[in-house]
Amino acid sequence: MNAIKISFLMLALMAIFVMVGYSFGGQGGMIIALVLAVAMNFFTYWFSDKVVLKMYRAREIQENDHPRLYRTVRRVVQAAQAPMPKVCIIPGRAPNAFATGRNPDNAAVAVTEGMLEMLTEDELEGVIGHEMAHILNRDMLIGTIAATFAGAIGVLASIARWGAIFGGFSRGDDRDGGIVGILVAAFVAPLMAMVLQMAISRQREYKADFTGGRITGKPLALASALAKLQRAPTRTLFSRNRATANLMIVNPLSGKGIMSWFSTHPPIEKRIERLKKQAKEEPYQSYAG
For 170-192, write each residue's pLDDT tens digit.
444 444 455 566 666 666 777 77
H helices present in 93-235, as ranges:
113-118, 121-136, 139-167, 178-183, 189-216, 219-231
Q: What are the pLDDT digits (tens) for 193-251?
A: 777 667 667 778 999 999 999 999 999 999 999 999 988 866 555 555 666 677 789 87
Bridge pairing between strands 106-112 and 59-60 = unpaired
Is 131 annotated as catalytic? yes
Amino acid letter, 35: V
What percentage of the chain exceeds 90 in pLDDT? Answer: 39
CA distances from residue 80 to 44, 114, 131, 273 in whole angstroms, order as listed: 26, 26, 12, 24
pLDDT at 98: 93
The C-alpha atoms of residue 217 and residue 267 are separated, in whole angstroms, by 23
Its pTM stands at 0.75
44: domain range? Answer: 2-281
Distance CA 67, CA 3 (A): 35
DSSP state of 184: I
Which of 131, 205, 273, 281 is catalytic? The answer is 131
Mean pLDDT value across residues 252-273: 70
260 occurs within a structural domain:
yes
User: How many CB atoms sit inside 10 A of residue 15's CB?
Assistant: 13
In a domain, 288, yes or no: no
The CA-based angle 221-1-143, given to 5 degrees, is 60
* Helices 2-55 and 189-216, packing angle to 10 deg: 90
Q: How many domains does the chain have?
A: 1
Residue 190 falls within a domain, yes or no? yes
When comparing pLDDT for 149 and 75, which is higher? 75
- Flag whether 289 is in a domain: no
32-79 per-position pLDDT tens digit: 766 776 777 678 778 878 888 999 999 999 999 999 999 999 999 999
- The CA–CA distances, whole Å, from 105 to 37, 77, 78, 85, 148 equal 25, 12, 14, 7, 21
